[in-house]
Amino acid sequence: MTDIASGGITRRGLLAAFAATAVTAAPSYSNAAGFLRGGGDIRRIRMYSGRTGERIDMIYWIEGKYIKDAVREVNHFMRDWRTNDVKSVDLRTVDIMAAAHNLMDATEPYMLLSGYRSPKTNAMLRRRGSGVAKNSLHLKAQAADLRLNSRSVNQMARAAAACKAGGVGRYSGSNFVHMDCGPVRSWGR
């Protein structure tokens, strides 16, 4: 067996950890990071962007610690693609996304429609149509709009809401779900 990390984790051990991952919901927003307790020693995020053509599929947290290089990649991936502005993403949002993905037992990566939004981009989107909040959590890099072709908006929203760790918006007409690490709430159909 080959070690894949200097910490002595074997390929078989890594695969076993993925297979054994079970996610449990947190009892309250005040302990939002705790909703992954029992979720295993590894957290993984898989996404692609139809706008930039970029893809990520990476372990970003292992044995209680975020991996700095992986977090930098997530920040870059979730940047405002219109302005190329990068902001540090609130990792609670990434944790919610990863937990919801695990709950759905999905193998398909999320399609990221919107992560961080610069004030310029948010203002432009507000002028173009409704449904864009003036003080959106996207401006704080605390939200993501996501789609999965293999799951319905309702399935995605139920999985995100089961985490009881942030906001969940259903946008069935546009076929995406908003996930954020703000107060626990839900909206949309």
pLDDT at 96 over 90: yes
Indicate the number of domains in the chain.
Answer: 1
- Angle (nearest 5°) at CA 70 between 68 and 71: 65
Render the burial of 98-117: b for 16+ CB within 10 Å, e for the rest.
Answer: bbbbbbbebeebbbbbbbbb
pLDDT tier for residue 5 given thresholds of 50, 70 and 90: very low
On whether residue 59 sits in a domain, the answer given is yes
* 183 against 22, higher pLDDT: 183
On whether residue 14 sits in a domain, the answer given is no
Kind of pairing between the strands at 55-62 and 143-147: unpaired
Helix (H, G, I), strand (E, B) or coil at 129: coil
Confidence at residue 47, expressed as pLDDT on a 0 to 100 scale: 98
On whether residue 106 sits in a domain, the answer given is yes
Confidence at residue 131, expressed as pLDDT on a 0 to 100 scale: 76
Residue numbers of the domain that contains 123: 23-188
On whether residue 67 sits in a domain, the answer given is yes
* 62 against 15, higher pLDDT: 62
pLDDT tier for residue 9 given thresholds of 50, 70 and 90: low
pLDDT at 24 over 70: no
Gap between the terminal Cα atoms of the chain? 49
How crowded is residue 68: how many other Cβ atoms within 10 Å of its Cβ? Answer: 9
Q: Quick: pLDDT tens for 38-49.
A: 445 899 999 999
pLDDT at 29 over 50: no
Confidence at residue 129, expressed as pLDDT on a 0 to 100 scale: 79
On whether residue 152 sits in a domain, the answer given is yes
On whether residue 3 sits in a domain, the answer given is no
Confidence at residue 20, expressed as pLDDT on a 0 to 100 scale: 38
With CA atoms as reference, report the closest residue to 142 among 97, 176, 102.
97
Confidence at residue 40, expressed as pLDDT on a 0 to 100 scale: 55
pLDDT at 130 over 80: no
On whether residue 64 sits in a domain, the answer given is yes
On whether residue 41 sits in a domain, the answer given is yes
pTM listed for this prediction: 0.78
Confidence at residue 32, expressed as pLDDT on a 0 to 100 scale: 41
Confidence at residue 126, expressed as pLDDT on a 0 to 100 scale: 87
DSSP string, 6-26: TT--BHHHHHHHHHH------
* 166 against 3, higher pLDDT: 166
CATH number at residue 153: 3.30.1380.10
